[in-house]
Chains A and B, each alone.
Chain A
Amino acid sequence: MTYLRHVLDHLRKDLRLEWRSRDSINGMLFFALLVVVVFGLAFDPTSYPTTTRQISGGILWVALLFACITALNQSWNRELRNQVLEAQRMAPSPASALFLGKAIANMLFVLVVEAVLAPIFIIFFNLHVLGSVWLLALVLPLGTWALVVNGTFFAALGLRARNRELLLPLLLLPISLPALLAMVQATTGILTTDLDSIQIGTWIKQLAGYDIIFTTICILLFETILNAE
């Protein structure tokens, strides 16, 4: 139970800090909106409604991926100032609690952005969800967690690297590609009903499996990279 308490403490700290400045969330929201607009101009949704529905799953996740990366890059910035990271290392709570707290905080931020983005996306792209919306409500958090958990870990990995901001997408994207494939396929399957429920279910199970495997690995290995020197 103390572990959970530590996680909640870290979570509350991150949420409170973010609430005071709100720059991360505002930046992400605006960035995701801009990406949707860019894609709208690039793919002209009104002229090609059927094609639009088929690619909208991919576009949604690419937009979210970019928004995630911009947020994740600065998620560890707070720990760099005033040598907070050293203090964290010496704290008695397990390092993975720090990681989980921050990952959950990032998750909440991205979910807020998704909640705002989804209606805008539907409007700009004239989307009618042909399949079950509840399944979509399952795929979005699972997919987001896959990006956020690995992203938070790799953002910490590159913390003292030069070209820190460049390194995050270079590391995150190759590792995330199977999860991206699963979330895009599941989303497109739900939006277009090109896939039957068994196939969608398989993609969702793969995504859930990916989440479980990589969350475990991140929790086990975070202490190692925190104390990498």
Chain B
Amino acid sequence: MEQRTPSLRSVAWLWFGIAVAILIIGFRQAIFLTPTDAAQGDVGRIFYYHVPIAMLSLLFPYLNFAASLLYLYWRMRDPLKALAADAFALASAEVTVVYATITLLSGMIWGRVAWGIWWTWDARLTSMLLLWLLYVSYLMLRNFSPTGQSHTLAAVLSIFAAVDVPIVYMSIRWWRTQHPAPVFGGGPNAGMDKSMLPAFFWNLAGWAVWGIFILLFRFALERRRQINEQEAALHAIEASLEIPQ
């Protein structure tokens, strides 16, 4: 691990640099190069941050689900791999909450000026709020449950949450078909003029690359903590073995 570290660090810094570069290009595209929207004016530029991040926030929960399944599978068979899977599950849950928070807040700020309301219980907003609630409850479980158990319990909760996400989406959509409410804009790709595409794709790419970077960084941090804990536990055991002599 010591010998791999320098090249791994260079890759990490490189990836970080790429993410920042793409984001800067995306920012330039969104703010300066894309023509002003006819209907919404300049405030419509929030679209280029809000929509890509909203789309990405639907991806990370499934990374969490996959990692939780791997954890439960490896738990008895290969504990070391299981621990790594658990670290990845935690990292992806946190990144989900970060992206969902950003989606909700940026959407509210946009909605306030574009439609005059901070919030409405339309299909997309409600579903995003429920997604946020599910993964915040996952993080709370990790904090509240006793050490040793928290990995397994959280993995199980993650399965519940991941199954719930499509159910939430379908039921709320059905609810809003019955009682239509003001909708915050059309679908993500509806009404996207060709002039909007460069800014949209640069920002989508930028936030995706950033998301991968921050996910792996958080994963590495969690792995480091796990290894520190294991070493501390090992020292404690060795110390206790030396006492009788």
Task: Show the binding face of A for B, using Cβ within 8 Å.
Answer: 150, 157-158, 160-163, 166-167, 170-171, 173-175, 177-178, 181-182, 185, 195, 199, 202, 206, 210, 213-214, 217, 221, 224-225, 228-229
**A167 and B130 contact, Cβ closer than 8 Å, known pairs A181-B171, A181-B172:** no
Binds A, one of B12-20, B40-48, B78-86, B140-148: B140-148
23 A-B Cβ contacts within 8 A?
A157-B141, A157-B157, A161-B146, A162-B144, A167-B144, A167-B145, A170-B137, A173-B133, A174-B136, A175-B134, A175-B161, A177-B168, A178-B168, A181-B175, A182-B171, A185-B178, A206-B171, A206-B174, A213-B163, A214-B160, A214-B163, A224-B152, A224-B156
**Using a CB-CB cutoff of 8 Å, which residues 29-54 of chain B contact chain A?**
none
Range class of the B interface residue count: 20 to 34
Task: Show the binding face of B for A, using Cβ within 8 Å.
Answer: 72, 130, 133-134, 136-137, 140-141, 144-146, 148-149, 152-153, 156-157, 159-161, 163-164, 167-168, 170-172, 174-175, 178
Q: Report the number of A-B residue pairs with Cβ-Cβ less than 8 Å.
A: 89
Max count, chain B CB within 10 A of own CB: residue among A163, A221, A228: A228
Instruction: Report B-chain residues with C-beta under 8 Å of the C-beta of A225.
Output: 152-153, 156
Establish whether residues B160 and A199, one from each chain, have CB atoms under 8 Å apart when the complex forms. no
Instruction: Report A-chain residues with C-beta under 8 Å of the C-beta of B149.
Output: 160, 228-229
Establish whether residues A163 and B144, one from each chain, have CB atoms under 8 Å apart when the complex forms. yes
Max count, chain A CB within 10 A of own CB: residue among B157, B159, B164: B164
Instruction: Report B-chain residues with C-beta under 8 Å of the C-beta of A181.
Output: 171-172, 175
